[in-house]
Structure 1
C-alpha cells in the first residue's frame, strides 16, 4: 500500500510540474489564435497583409487566416484592435469606394490611422494587391469595402514611435 501512495504522490507532483510549465509558456494577452499569432510574428519591415470582410475574393495561393465565425462576428473593428495590439503599422491602403459606400468604416479608419500614410485605390487594384499579400485575415465583417491592406513598420524603437496608435481610438 505504501508503494501505491508514493506512486499517487509522484503522479500528483508530475502533473503539477507539467501544468506549471504550460502556464509559463501560455500567452498572457493579445492574439490567441495560433495561426494569426504566427503570421503576425513573421512580418518584417515593409511586408503587407490584408484584413478583409466576409465576401472578399481571397486568392487560393495566399495563406488564409479565417477568423469568420458568423455574419458580422468578428467585425473589422474587433479584428483590427487585436491585430494592432501585436504589430506596428506604417501604411494603410483601402478601397476609395469605402468613403461613399461605408462612411462609418472610412471615418473609423481615418481616426485610427492618423499617424500612418493612408492610401486610397480602387477595389479592383486592392484585389490585385491581395495576390502578393503575405497572408489574408478574413473577418465576419459585412459592411461594404471593409478591406484594409496593412504594411508593417520596423519594430525599432526610434521608428515605431512615429506610428503609435491610441488604443482609445479603436
Structure 2
C-alpha cells in the first residue's frame, strides 16, 4: 500500500505511462473530452478536488517541457492563472492559444484529468519532458 503521493490507481497508471513529448491535460469540471482520449475523472463534488491542488500534486512527479494555457485564462481568471503558473517549474516555457484551439489540441493528449473545479478557463496542457 502506498503511504504518500497519488493514491488514485488510474491516475497513477496514466502518469507512469507518459513519455517524452506526451501531453497530459488537467482540466476543470466542464472541459470536454475528445473521443479516444482517456478520461481520469477526479471530481466528486463542485470544487473538489480543486484544479490547483491537482496541478500541485502532479507537478511533484512529472517532468515537463512546456505548458499550454487558453489565452482567456489571462483575462477571465488572472489571479487564479497566476497561482497555476507559480506551481510550474520556474523556467517552464508557456504558450497561449484561444480556448477553441486549446480544445482541439486536447484531442492529441494521452489523457485528460478532470477536477471538480468550477472556475472558468482553469485548464492546462502539460507537454512531458525527459527525466534525464
TM-score w.r.t. length of structure 2? 0.95
Whichever of the two has the greater Rg, that structure is 1
Which position in structure 2 is the counterpart of 1:42?
17
1 or 2, which has the higher strand percentage?
2
Most deviating of 115-124 and 26-35: 26-35
1 or 2, which has the higher helix percentage?
1
Q: 2:102 aligns with which of 117, 126, 140?
A: 126
- 1-structure distance, mates of 2:101, 2:4: 35
Confirm whether residue 92 of structure 1 aligns to residue 67 of structure 2.
Answer: yes
Matches within 5 A, 1:6-25: none
Most deviating of 79-88 and 125-134: 79-88
- 1-structure distance, mates of 2:52, 2:99: 20
**Pairs aligned (count):** 131
- 1-structure distance, mates of 2:2, 2:64: 22
> Any runs of at least 4 consecutive aligned residues in structure 1 with deviations exceeding 2 A, and if so which?
109-114
- 1-structure distance, mates of 2:128, 2:2: 22
- 2-structure distance, mates of 1:34, 1:110: 27
For structure 2, the 5+ residue unaligned runs are: none
- 2-structure distance, mates of 1:104, 1:70: 23
Indicate the RMSD between aligned Cα atoms, in angstroms: 1.0
Query: 1:31, 1:86 within 8 Å by CA — same for their partners in 2?
Result: no
Confirm whether residue 150 of structure 1 aligns to residue 120 of structure 2.
Answer: no
Q: 1:59 aligns with which of 31, 34, 52?
A: 34
For structure 1, the 5+ residue unaligned runs are: 1-25, 157-170
